[in-house]
Amino acid sequence: MQYLCRQIAAYAMIYKRIKHEEMNSKLLKLNEPYKVIYAGGKVGRHIATLFTWEEDEEGTAEILESHEYPIIDQGEEFPAGTLVNTEIEDCRVICSYNPKNGITGTNLYWLAGIIEYDFQQLEPSGAEYILKRLQLLDCQIKLPEEEVKDENGKPELDENGKKVMTTKWDYNASLWVSLKKGHFEGEREYIVKGNHSNGFYFESMGTADEIFSDLSYQLSVYSYYLLDSIGSIHFSTNDGYLADVFNRLNKKQGIETDYKDIW
C-alpha cells in the first residue's frame, strides 16, 4: 500500500508539470514486475513512460515530432516518479524478471556492458553507484559457471554423466592501452580500456600513477559488491605499456607477474 501511494503521488506531480506546458502528452503506467533500467546516469525500476508529441498546427493530425521518456523508481531514499530527461532509445535494461525462478536479475557479462556504456556518457555515474542501486533494488547478479576439472585436467562428471559445474572464481582483465601524449618528452599519459566480455569492465586515463589509482579503486568496488563471489582479477595487456601498473594490481591480489614494458 505504501509503495502504491508513492506511485500515485509521483504521477500527480508529473501531470501537474505537463499541464502548464503546451504539448500533447500521455502517461503510460507500466505493470509489475518492473524492469530495472539505466537511464541518463540513473538506475531504477521503469514504472511508467511519458509520451510527448507535436502535431501539425494546420489540423492534419500529422505528428511532426515525438519523444518517449522513462519514469523510474530509484528505491530506498528516493521517492518514486523520477522523470528522466533521456529518450527511451538511449536507456538500457539491466535487470528483467524471470518467471521461472521469480527473480529479477542480470548476469555479470551484461552488467559489465552496462558499466562500459556508462563510461561512454558525458558524466558517468560509475560502477559503484550502479552496483549500489542494484543491491538496493534487489536485482540479483548471476555469475558465470565453469567446469570442475579432475587432477588430470579432465571435466568431472556426476552420477548421471553430466559435467559438474561450479561458479567461476578467477577472472582475466585484458586491457587495451594507448599512449595519449608525451611520446618523447614529459610525463606520459595513457588511455586504458577494458573488455566487458571479460566479465568486468575497467577504464581510465592519465599518468601511470593516476591509472593505478583509478584501477585500484574500480577493483575495490567490484571486490566489495561481489564479496565472496570472486577470487581474483588477473590484469594483463598485449600493448607493451604500463607493465608496472599491471604487476602492482596483480600483486595486490596475491598474483605474481613480471610483465615488461616494450615501448
Around Cβ 135, how many Cβ atoms within 10 Å? Answer: 14
Average pLDDT over residues 113-138: 96
- Tell which wins on pLDDT, 5 or 188: 188
Residue 70: which H helix or E strand, with range? strand 63-73
Neighbours of 40 (CB within 10 A): 18
User: Is the pLDDT assigned to residue 35 strictly greater than 90?
Assistant: yes
Residue with cell 531504477: 44
Residue 5: the pLDDT is 53
The DSSP symbol for 85 reads S
Angle, helices 127-136 vs 208-225, to 10°: value is 10
Q: Which pLDDT does position 164 carry in this prediction?
A: 92
Say whether 119 sits in a helix, a strand or coil: helix
Q: Where are the domains of the chain?
A: 2-7+21-142, 165-251
Q: In this predicted structure, what is the pLDDT of residue 3?
A: 45
Given a contact cutoff of 8 angstroms between Cβ atoms, the answer to whether 74 and 94 are in contact is no
pLDDT of 65 reads 79
**12: exposed, middle or buried (Cβ count in 10 Å: 0-12, 13-18, 19+):** exposed
pTM score of the predicted model: 0.85
What would the pLDDT profile of 52-80 be if each residue is shown by its tens digit?
988 766 665 666 678 999 999 998 888 88
| Residue 1: predicted pLDDT | 44
Query: Is pLDDT of 48 > 80?
Result: yes
Q: What is the rounded CA–CA span in Å between residue 149 and residue 209?
A: 39
- Structure confidence at residue 20 (pLDDT): 45
Tens of pLDDT, residue by residue over 204-219, are 999 999 999 999 999 9
